[in-house]
Amino acid sequence: MKLILLGAPGAGKGTVAKLLTKLDGSVQISTGDILRGAVAAGTELGKQAQAFMAAGDLVPDELIMGIMEKRLQEPDCENGFLLDGFPRTIPQAEQLKTMLANLGIELDMAVNIDVPRDVILDRLTTRRTCSNGDCQAIYNVKSNPPKEEGVCDKCGSPVIQREDETEEAISHRLETYNEKTAPLIGFYENEGLLMTVDATSSDAVINAIQERLGATA
């Protein structure tokens, strides 16, 4: 499947993407994970992105489009892809449209995961992430803590609160979402690609997506 996952930070895009990859071999492409990996590895991209990310601001469109143009042409995308955290602005969506047309790729849908603000705030303030840039496993201090406090179950690296998940940075990220990313809902509605799911459980989101894809297949 070839999907865009839309939704505020904390809506569950990453969790849903990971579950969907198990269904048909589609790959998850998270621009946030790619950028955090670059920051952890100290690459040129990471150096350019770091300050924007720490402040909860978006990284400039040019940097993101450069990453995505290469990523979408990697062979593993042939089985399908789940775009998680991209596009984030109308210019990114417009450039993606042109890029996909040039590559002869057709999207199935843009899925808007619509979760109430209080649930989002609670999830983001209690979320913890593995600090290893190649792992980035997600935990939650309330609902899914690591077996040993502060240590990743998967790779043994420290589990931390992301720099952009302090209360101040979170509220800025949500403002940025409302201003820059929420307009994509109208964009994909006009494209005839939008599906909105208002479910807080990732299983319910997956079921709704599978039902819709089954109905259109």
The catalytic site residues sit at 13, 88, 127, 162, 173
Least distance (Å) between residue 64 CB and ligand AMP: 4
| Comparison of 172 and 212: residue with beta carbon closer to ligand AMP | 172
Question: Cα(114)–Cα(134) distance, rounded to whole angstroms?
Answer: 29
The yes or no reply on residue 35 touching ligand AMP (CB under 6 A) is yes
Question: Cα(81)–Cα(91) distance, rounded to whole angstroms?
Answer: 20
Least distance (Å) between residue 161 CB and ligand AMP: 14
- Per-residue contact string for residues 133-172; x = within reach of ligand AMP by CB under 6 A: -------------------------------x--------
For tokens 């990996």, what's the residue?
Answer: 37
How many chain residues touch ligand AMP (CB under 6 A)?
A: 18
Binding span for ligand AMP by CB under 6 A among 54-62, 97-105, 110-118, 128-136: 54-62
The yes or no reply on residue 187 touching ligand AMP (CB under 6 A) is no
The yes or no reply on residue 52 touching ligand AMP (CB under 6 A) is yes
> According to CB under 6 A, which one of 17, 53, 159, 206 is a site residue for ligand AMP?
53
- Per-residue contact string for residues 59-98; x = within reach of ligand AMP by CB under 6 A: x----x--------------------xxxx---x------
Q: For residue 53, what are its two tokens?
A: 């990310």
| Comparison of 128 and 173: residue with beta carbon closer to ligand AMP | 173
Per DSSP, the residues of the chain read: -EEEEE--TTSSHHHHHHHHHHHH-PEEEEHHHHHHHHHHHT-HHHHHHHHHHHHTPPPPHHHHHHHHHHHTTSGGGGG-EEEES---SHHHHHHHHHHHHHHT----EEEEE---HHHHHHHHHHEEEES-TTT--EEETTTB--SBTTB-TTT-PBEE--GGGSHHHHHHHHHHIIIIITHHHHHHHHTT-EEEE--SSHHHHHHHHHHHHHHH-
> According to CB under 6 A, which one of 15, 26, 28, 31 is a site residue for ligand AMP?
31
Give residues in contact with ligand AMP (CB under 6 A): 9, 31-32, 35, 52-53, 56-59, 64, 85-88, 92, 164, 173
